[in-house]
Chain A
C-alpha cells in the first residue's frame, strides 16, 4: 500500500536543487580560488614524485619504512612492492596516485586530529559530530560528488575533497577514542602536578593516544585508496583512471594491472603505519 503523501517530494527535490544551484552561482568562483593553494600543493607533490628518479623514490620510501618500524623485513618488502609497481608498467600512474594519497592524508591529519581532540574534550560537540561522521561514512560518495564537482569543477581538487570526506572519519573517531582511553589516574596525576589543559593535551593525552591515532591514520589511508577509482571519475589521474579505462573498454588486463598496483600501495601504507603504531605502543622495546 502506498504511503500517504505528507510532503511533496518533488518540490523538496527542486528546493534542494535550487539551493545548490544558487550556491554554485554565488560561491563557485570564490571556492575555486580558495582551493587554488590545495591544487598547487597537490601538483607540486605530484611533480616531485614523477620527476624524481624511480630509485630515489624507492630509497625514500624504504627509509620511511625503516624509521617507522626499525625492521629490515619491512624495508625489503616495501622495496619489492615498489619495484613490482614499476615492473608491471604502472610507475608513472602509481606516482600520481601516491601524490593524491599523500596530500589527502596530510589534509586528513590537519582536519581530523583537531576535530578528534575537540570531540574528546567536549561532550556536546561529540554528540553533534558523531551523526555527521556516520553520514560521511555511509552516504554513497556519488551523492556528494555531484555538488562538489558543481562547486569546484572537474579536476584534482574535487577528487581530493571527495577522498577527504570519505576517508577522514576513522581518524577523527580514533583520535577521540585514543584520548578518552588515556588512563584516568595518569590524567589525575598531571592535574595534581599543576599541568594546564594545554600541557595535559600535548604532554600526556596526545602522546598516549598516539597508537590509536596511528590506527586511525592506517584506516584513513586504506579508505582513501579505496576512493581512487571513484575520484578518477571526476578528473583525478593515476591508477584509478586506468582501472576505469579498463572497465569502459572491457580490457581486463589493463584494469587488473592497475588494480594490482593499487593493492601494492595499500599493503605498503598499511604495513608501514601499523608497524609504526605498534612501536609506539611499547616504548623502548629494542630501541634505547
Chain B
C-alpha cells in the first residue's frame, strides 16, 4: 500500500467549480474554461502514488499547480473531485477534528517564505506543533531544543525569527516541521527563496536528516537541478496535469514529451547520471584459476586483445594477449594488471578527469565491491552531449566492448 495515494484529482477555482467539472473531464482546455466561465483549472486528473520513505519531488514552473497539489495532501485545499488516501484512508472523508489530528501527528509542512511566527521566539516556533497538540510548554521546549540542535541552530532559541538570516529561518522551519515527528513531510518550494550556496547547504542537510529519519517527503520545486539532486522519484506537472513521472534518470534519458525534453536540455547531466548508466558488459571474461596457456589459446581463437579477469564476483584486473605471450607462470593470477575502479553510484562528472588523464579502462563496482562492468566511453559521450553524433571510430580506444 502506498503511503500517499492521490487519484483522479481535479481542482477548479471559481464560484461554481462542480458545474464545470464534466466539461473538463470531456476535454475542455484550461484556456477555454477560463474564457467561457472565468473559472481557473488548477489540477486535472492527477494520479500519484508515493511510497513510504521516499523523497518524491513534484516539479513544475510557476502556475503549473504544484503548490495547489501539495496543499491537497493536508487539505489546506479541497479538490473538486478525486480522492487522497493516506495509509489507505481517504482524508476527504475525515471530520474536522479528525483532520486536525491528522495534521498534528501525521504530517507537517515547510513553506517557501518560511511562514514562521514573528511574535514567538525561535524555540517556541519549533515547539509550535507540539504545543498545539497540547504538550505542556516545558516538555515541548525540551524536544524543540533537541531539534534546533539537529538543524545546527543550537543557542539561537531565544532569538526571534527576524533576527536570523533566510537560511537560518528555513532551518527553523525544518526543525518546526520535524519536531512533531510526523510520517510525512510536505515541503513547498522550501529552498526556492534561498540563494544558491545556502540552498545547496539546505539540500545537504535535508538529505543527511532523511538518511537517519526515512520520512516520506513530498518536495515541490521549480528547479530541475534540485529535483534531480534530491528526488528518488520525480513527477513533472504542466498546466495542472502530470506530464511524466519516474526516477531522475528516466526523466533525463527518456523524456516523454517535448515539454520535458525542453526542460532537461540544459541540465548538468554529468551530475545526475551515474556510472551505472554508462556500463559496458565485459565481452571476454576469464577466471583467475584459468591456466595461462588455455587463456592464450582462447583469446587468440576469438581475436581478443584484452580479457577481464574475475575471481568469483570480484574483479581482479585485466590481462592483455601481449602479457600472456611472455608469461611464465602457470595460472593467470600473476599476469593480471590491476585497474582503477569506481562505485556505480559515482556521478559522471567525477569520472571525467580520470577518463581524460589516461586511456586505461575504468571498472565499475557495487558498494560491496562486486564487479558490474566497465565504463563505456562512447556511452559517456553520448549521454553527456546527446546532440553530437558519435563516430564509430571513437569506440576504438575501448578495451572491451
| Residues of A242-288 contacting chain B, CB below 8 A | 283-284, 288
Q: Which of B101-109, B215-223, B393-401 participates in binding chain A?
A: B101-109
Interface size band for A: 20 to 34
Q: Are A194 and B104 in contact (CB under 8 A)?
A: yes
Does A196 have its Cβ within 8 Å of any Cβ on chain B? yes
Q: Is B56 in the interface zone, CB < 8 Å from A?
A: no
Q: Is the CB of B113 within 8 A of A207?
A: no
CB distance from A285 to the nearest CB of B (A): 9
Whether the pair B115, A284 counts as a contact (CB closer than 8 A) is: no
From known contacts A193-B129, A199-B132, infer whether A188 and B111 are also in contact, taking CB-CB under 8 Å: yes
The answer to whether residues A194 and B128 also contact, given A185-B111, A188-B111 and a CB cut-off of 8 A, is no
- Contact across chains for B118 and A192 when beta carbons are under 8 A apart: no
Q: What is the size, in residues, of chain B's interface with A at 8 Å between Cβ atoms?
A: 29
A207 cross-chain contacts in B, Cβ below 8 A: 119
Query: How many residue-residue contacts, CB under 8 A, span A and B?
Result: 63
Q: Which of A151-203 contact B (CB under 8 A)?
A: 183, 185-186, 188-196, 199, 203
Complex CA distance for A195 and B117, rounded to whole angstroms: 13
Which of A186, A192, A208, A288 lies in contact with B108, CB distance below 8 A? A192
Within the complex, which residue of B101, B163, B180 is in contact with A284, where a contact is CB–CB below 8 Å? B163
Closest approach, in angstroms, between the C-beta of B168 and any C-beta of chain A?
A: 16
The one of A183, A192, A203 that contacts B103, using a Cβ cutoff of 8 Å:
A192
Please tell me if B100 contacts chain A, counting CB pairs below 8 Å. Answer: yes
Query: What's the minimum C-beta distance from A169 to chain B, rounded to whole angstroms?
Result: 26
Tell yes or no: A204 within 8 A of B by CB: yes
CB distance from B4 to the nearest CB of A (A): 15
B145 interface residue (CB < 8 Å to A): no
Contacts of A288 in B (CB 8 A): 158
Query: Would B108 and A193 count as touching, CB distance under 8 A?
Result: yes
List A contacts of B186 (CB < 8 A): 192
List, in ascending order, chain A residues with CB within 8 A of B100's CB. 194-196
B105: chain A residues within 8 A (beta carbon) = 194
A186 to B111 CA separation, bound complex (whole angstroms): 9
Partner of A194, one of B101, B112, B119, B163: B101
Interface string of B103-140 (1 = CB under 8 A from A): 11100110111011111000000001100110000000
Q: Which of chain A's residues have a CB closer than 8 A to the CB of B128?
A: 190, 193
State in angstroms the CA–CA spacing of A161 and B136 once bound together: 43
Q: Which of B109, B116, B163 is close to A192, meaning CB atoms less than 8 Å apart?
A: B109
Report B's interface with A, CB cutoff 8 A: 74, 76, 100-105, 108-109, 111-113, 115-119, 128-129, 132-133, 158-160, 163, 176, 180, 186
